[in-house]
Structure 1
Amino acid sequence: MMKNPTPRQIALASAILLSAYSLVFYIGVTNLEFVSGWLAWILFPLTILGLAYLVNLYYLKKYIYRKVKLIYKTIHRHKRSPDEKAPGIDVDNNIIEEVEKEVNAWAAIQQQELDRFRAWADYRRKFVGDISHELKTPIFTIQGYLHTLLDGGLYDDKVNMTFLKKAAKNVDRLYTIVEDLSAIARLEAGNLVLEMQAFDIKELTEEIFEDLEIKAREKEIILEFKDGASQNYKVLADREYIRQVLTNLIHNSIKYGNSGGKTKVGFYDMDKNMLIEVADNGIGIPKNHLLHVFDRFYRVDKSRSRAQGGSGLGLSIVKHIIEAHKQTINVRSTPGVGSTFGFTLEKA
């Protein structure tokens, strides 16, 4: 018995069996002698064989085609034009095996889509929960200050300006969250348009050092370059977006650094790319948090992070920007020793 026969093989095998049985029946009925009936012995089975083969093949083609057509209507999303539609099936191919492969491929794709939809559904639920949680704190705080002022605090010189300043600070935080959410949405939608240009990465870092000098001085943190980073290197990237990346990383190193510590920026030649590292000797990040530091709204120390301000989206935005440049970013950290964030850029 053939394994996975084609329609033509099925039709031929059934025709041979039918002609053989017909011949036996014909001989039994007519009692032909060999001499007088030798022609009938040949013509009769051949006629039956031919007719049975053609009939079987015709109905097999019609039956299989109808079934296969229904299967394809179910699993295919592309509606073909009349010119693309095949008039029938190739009877010399194992159509059942081909359909089985296509159905299995379709089932695998459906399972992947289902898994992706489930992941996105979980992601959306978590994201909505995170947004609600992040917005709730400043909104409730603003609400409390404003109601206190409306209930008479506005006329109390000891609290009115203090409460107004605190309410304004939380409004600023709300604005930061909304702006960062908008940036995340643009990045994830692929609407980020990069203005690629060659620029000196050391000069850009020096500009950011100047911008953050006051914040660093308040924490008594020194901003400097690592040994060997005195050379100027040119990279090919979007200068303003890379400014945002470096500003975020250096600002975080100040925010979570120890008073009297240092933040160092280093450059490393990697043939076609440059590795830029921002290192500090601050509080560090526990090992179990390292895989999640680039997740949106993820905070290693929630109470300290909120007290320091920010939206909780900075590192997520940084990761999206670097990936939009088709480059990578990573982090190394040890509690009590410090953290090092490194990302690559194409050399100009």
Structure 2
Amino acid sequence: MQAKFKRSYKFSVKTSLHITIYTTLLVSVFLYYLYEFKWLHALAFAVCIYIFSFFVIQFRVERYIYKRVKKIYDDLTLLESANLSKGPITTDMRTLTQEIDKFARDKKIEIESLKVREKYRKEFLGNVSHELKTPLFTVQGYILTLLDGAMDDEKIRAKYLERASKGIERLGYIIKDLDMITKLEVGDLSLNIEEFDIVELVENVFEMLEMKASKKRITLTFDTDYNKQVLVKADKERIQQVLANLIVNSLKYGRVKGTTEVSIENLIKNKVIVRVTDNGEGIGKEHLPRLFERFYRVDKSGSRKEGGSGLGLSIVKHIIEAHNEKIYVESEFGVGSEFSFTLEKVE
């Protein structure tokens, strides 16, 4: 498709004016000393020179510039510059310079974004490799030990088979959670939206995690007594998973004899916000932007003091976003953390 051409007359007008003034002054001086000088003759000469100069510059010089400018546009179009290909080709140098600068800035941002994504991709692959490798090698080690003769000892056999079973269970968690995240991302996991009491659901999660909390003597509590139901509209099973993941997280990194507190507040007319607050280790500010990434580690040592698939927070984020809601995190290292998410309230 032939590119549209937009003419620019600024250069021709200004250049023609300069030539006309200079030439007219020179000829006027020549006529004044050698011939009879008349203003009318000088004016007619100026007009003729201006018109002649304008057309020469506009249609000859512009054509020369146009060929080179068009090549620049063509080269940029090959680089998929959508903005440049939309507009007409112009020989106005300022416009072209602005477009080239904008193109360069956009490409710089795009390249930086690709570099960041590549870095995240490498980290993700490394983390996946680590998460799968650890339980695999553990299971392999126990099985090889049994095959080498430890199987004859009943106590060792039972102990090693139990540990191998835990390693396989860990692998199952990782694969199951990865599968769920993938389905949430592509929209294959349908939500069963229903009305339910969020207060009752939190109480159920508290009961489910009571034993885990008692091991670290952490108190699970509400911020106040909720005597009335707070009805929300969401997928009950998925929201229970969100609450369980957030509370389990607070127990993992909570301090001994600490507190995990849940509060439910009206946000706007048809929204509530559920907050899960603890007074545990807290998280440094530099980690907060990437906290919901798959397998992202606050502890860069690569060790995991606690179990789990390492995908809990990523699943939480995807479930909340699948409801078209928001999730937030606030934390201060050494003080504690607060995770909160919104839900639609039943009016």
TM-score tier, shorter chain, comes to 0.7 to 0.9
Quick one: distance in 1 between partners of 2:55 and 2:283? 76
- Contact 2:275/2:339 (<8 A) preserved: yes
- 1:140 Cα offset (Å): 1.2
- Contact 1:19/1:49 (<8 A) preserved: no
- Contact 2:283/2:337 (<8 A) preserved: no
* Corresponding position of 1:177: 174
Q: Give structure 2 stretches of 5+ with no counterpart.
A: 1-7
Q: Does 1:124 align with 2:121?
A: yes
Q: Does 1:329 align with 2:333?
A: no
Quick one: distance in 2 between partners of 1:257 and 1:24? 94
Q: Does 1:228 align with 2:225?
A: yes
* Corresponding position of 2:52: 51
**Post-superposition CA distance 1:290-318 (Å, at most 9, x none):** 73654543456789984532012212322
* Corresponding position of 1:12: 16
Counterpart residue identity of residue 139, structure 2 = I
Distance 1:124-1:300 versus aligned 2 partners, 3 A rule: closer
Counterpart residue identity of residue 20, structure 2 = I
When structure 1 is superposed on structure 2, of 230-239 and 250-259 the one drifting more is 250-259
Counterpart residue identity of residue 342, structure 1 = S
When structure 1 is superposed on structure 2, of 222-231 and 110-119 the one drifting more is 222-231
Q: Trace 1:1-348 onto structure 2 (pairs within 5 A).
A: 6-17=10-21, 19-20=23-24, 23=27, 27=31, 32-34=35-37, 43-76=44-77, 77=80, 86=88, 89=90, 95-187=92-184, 197-212=194-209, 215=212, 223-256=220-253, 263-272=260-269, 273-280=271-278, 283-285=280-282, 287=284, 291=288, 293-299=291-297, 306-324=304-322, 325-332=324-331, 335=334, 339-348=337-346
The alignment covers a number of residue pairs equal to 333
**3-state SS in 2 of match to 1:147:** helix
**Post-superposition CA distance 1:14-47 (Å, at most 9, x none):** 5515752784698599x55458xx8865555543
- 1:288 Cα offset (Å): 6.6
- Contact 2:135/2:168 (<8 A) preserved: yes
**Post-superposition CA distance 1:210-255 (Å, at most 9, x none):** 5445655676766543323332112344433322211212233445
- Contact 2:197/2:230 (<8 A) preserved: yes
Quick one: distance in 1 between partners of 2:212 and 2:176? 22
Quick one: distance in 1 between partners of 2:226 and 2:109? 47
- Contact 2:218/2:254 (<8 A) preserved: yes
- Contact 1:18/1:49 (<8 A) preserved: no
Query: So what's the TM-score if we normalise by structure 1?
Result: 0.76
When structure 1 is superposed on structure 2, of 108-117 and 146-155 the one drifting more is 146-155
**3-state SS in 1 of match to 2:339:** strand
- Contact 1:285/1:300 (<8 A) preserved: no
- Contact 2:24/2:45 (<8 A) preserved: no
- 1:338 Cα offset (Å): 6.0
- Contact 2:255/2:281 (<8 A) preserved: no
Quick one: distance in 1 between partners of 2:146 and 2:331? 47
Quick one: distance in 1 between partners of 2:167 and 2:127? 18
Quick one: distance in 1 between partners of 2:47 and 2:302? 93
Counterpart residue identity of residue 126, structure 2 = G
Distance 1:250-1:44 versus aligned 2 partners, 3 A rule: closer
Quick one: distance in 2 between partners of 1:252 and 1:180? 16
Distance 1:333-1:10 versus aligned 2 partners, 3 A rule: closer
Quick one: distance in 2 between partners of 1:257 and 1:172? 25
Quick one: distance in 1 between partners of 2:212 and 2:41? 109
Counterpart residue identity of residue 97, structure 2 = E
Distance 1:27-1:177 versus aligned 2 partners, 3 A rule: same
Counterpart residue identity of residue 63, structure 2 = K
Q: Give structure 1 stretches of 5+ with no counterpart.
A: none
Counterpart residue identity of residue 119, structure 1 = V
Quick one: distance in 2 between partners of 1:257 and 1:318? 19
Quick one: distance in 1 between partners of 2:82 and 2:331? 51
Counterpart residue identity of residue 319, structure 1 = K
The percent of aligned pairs where both chains have the same amino acid is 39
- 1:179 Cα offset (Å): 2.6
